Homo-oligomer: A and B are copies of this chain.
Amino acid sequence: MNIYDIAKLANVSPATVSRVINNRGNVKEDTANKIKKIIENTGYIPSATARNLSVGVSKNIAFIVPDIENPFFSKILHGISDRASYYNYNVFMFGSDENIEKEHRILKSLSSDMILGILVIPVSHDDMITAQYLKEFEEKGIPVVLIDRDIRNCSFHGVFSEDEDGAYQAVKCLIEEGHKDIAIITGPTTSRPGLNRLMGYQRALQEHGIPLREEYMVSGEFKLEESYHAAKKLFALNHVPTAIFTSNNLTTIGVLQFIRESGLKLVRDISLIGFDDIDYLNLLNIKVSIVDRPIYDMGYQAMDLLQNNYLKRDENRLITQRISAKTWLVKRGSEKHILFKGVNER
């Protein structure tokens, strides 16, 4: 079944059928109705492939995500997917598994005529190969929108968030609660959010006259297990901090795991503010204060940005659209300071 078959059945030309299918107008209503009926009855579905080839444009967008199973990214995907379906776009999902080579392979495999745009959460802040691929896509008129993670020295469109400020607010809150010995479990230094959250942490301390201590900044790499071990390191210090700022959701969980396993208790033994919420914790009455942000909306907005940039891809090439999502502190009690922490007594 193709457009010629339909045309024959309707005694019209394929062009007319095409006009009807695409609501191009300039077709007598009778003719249009007749054609529509035939399409309905035969169950004919136009070939998207042929259409794409003919018009040189597809309705597919590619989404490249580092960790499909992280609920943070699932939420972004949800936002993207919902908005994409509004635009009648299809979403290709590619998982890079935080692996830079895999990311390159994905980008390389992206035949540019199959996709209309690219949404990507890049693995690294510093990787110039990925940046090069993305630039080439932009030059071909395929808009690129980064999500959450920026790339150094490039100015791609993107939806980010106020990482520095979020972290700053969190640490400032801890300070105002009376904490002075505040540690951070950092994200990878190859990631912009990781870097910025560290900077927010440092600025908060400095602005309040608290000296930075090397041993209070340990690396958790945004990963659960690494963060668990980072927490362990902090508790092995001579002078255990009274509060920890954790740089992402998995980091928070890693620390919580360590706390539970060690028989420690939040607030009593250690205070905590994390970056990004963890859905079920609050429901389960595990009260952890966190820096929140509109995650679903970030995906949604990214899709919108892509769409806008696609529409005006010829003009305005020089204007980069970058959105920064607000962050806000959600206090649930884990930030509280009590003067004599159990662990400091030991």
Q: Is A267 engaged at the interface, CB distance under 8 Å to the other chain?
A: no
Q: Who on chain B is nearest to A252 by CB?
A: B280
Instruction: Determine if A12 is an interface residue (Cβ-Cβ < 8 Å).
Output: no
Q: How many copies does the complex hold?
A: 2
**Min CB gap A113→B, angstroms:** 5
Indicate if the CB atoms of B93 and A77 lie closer than 8 Å: yes
Is A207 close to B, CB under 8 A? no
Q: Is the C-beta of A88 less than 8 angstroms from some C-beta in chain B?
A: yes
* B90:A92 contact, CB within 8 angstroms: yes
Q: Contacts of A261 on B, CB cut-off 8 Å?
A: 285
A325 contacts B by Cβ under 8 Å: no
List B contacts of A114 (CB < 8 A).
48-49, 90
Q: Which of B109, B112, B284 contacts A286 (CB 8 A)?
A: B284
Chain B residues within an 8 Å CB radius of A94: 81, 85, 90-91
Structural contact, B68 and A58, CB atoms closer than 8 A: no
A-B contact pairs, 18 of them (CB 8 A): A45-B111, A48-B113, A68-B78, A68-B81, A69-B71, A69-B74, A69-B75, A71-B71, A77-B93, A81-B93, A81-B94, A82-B95, A90-B92, A91-B93, A93-B93, A253-B284, A260-B285, A284-B286
Across the A-B interface, the 5 shortest Cβ-Cβ residue pairs: A48-B111, A260-B285, A93-B93, A257-B283, A47-B113
